[in-house]
Structure 1
Amino acid sequence: MNFTTQRIEDIVVFTLNETKLDANNSGLVKAEFTLLMKLESVKKLIIDLTDVESCDSTGLSALLVANRLVHANDGDVCLVTSSEKVLSLIRITQLNKVLSVFDTLTDALQELKSK
């Protein structure tokens, strides 16, 4: 699995450099989110899925794990995606009511910097 993490001020950006978030890699993504929360006290997390073109229910589950872990730390999570397939799945499952979803990393950063 190819991903990067970077800190921009008090915001952690997790970028998944894969075209799919599915059963093949969602377990690893969940493990990385769990490890990230143990190593750093993350209160502001951006999950950048710009490269992700498709996602399944196990991928959504990984996003919800990250959301739960950060919210347990009284934090906020933003999601970045411009893929119509991913956005459609997020809307159908109403995950957009749980996570703030943005088209660009810049917009997500602006949102979390204001909190």
Structure 2
Amino acid sequence: MQAFVTDHRCDVAVLHLKGELDAETAEKLRITLAELLERQVPRIVVDLTDLKFCDSIGLSAFITSKQVITARGGWLSFAGSTPFLTRLLETVGLSRYFAIFPEVEDAIAASQL
């Protein structure tokens, strides 16, 4: 899995993921999220457009990060989910826990409301 961050506005980071997120690559996600959690009020959009697979280890990294982010008054949302990931999030009940937007721009726009 590849992960890189771009900043949109001064307060929203977009975490772009590409490839497969599983037990072997989850540590890279945790490290990247830990860096983003150092921000005073983390506001993160996770771009899932190029993420082809995610297992329970990857999902747990998102859940743990969201708990920390929410406690700090920030938020974490998903954008560009593939049909596979959308089904996965719905099946495990996380579609009620995370905001999921069709596009990164939609998630950023929603943060301004």
Higher strand share: 2
1:37 maps to what in 2? 37
- Normalization by structure 1: what TM-score? 0.88
- For 2:52 and 2:80, how far apart are their aligned partners in 1? 9
**1:97: how far off?**
0.9
Is 1:92 matched with 2:80? no
1:11 maps to what in 2? 12
Q: Which amino acid aligns with 2:14?
A: V
Gap change, CA 1:79 and 1:20, over 3 Å in 2: same
User: Following superposition, which runs of at least 4 residues in structure 1 exceed 2 angstroms of deviation?
Assistant: none
- Normalization by structure 2: what TM-score? 0.89
What's the Cα RMSD here?
A: 1.4
Query: Can you give the 5+ residue segments of structure 2 that lack an aligned partner in the other structure?
Result: none
Aligned residues: 112
> Contact 1:4 / 1:15 at 8 angstroms: preserved in 2?
yes
Partner SS for 2:67: helix
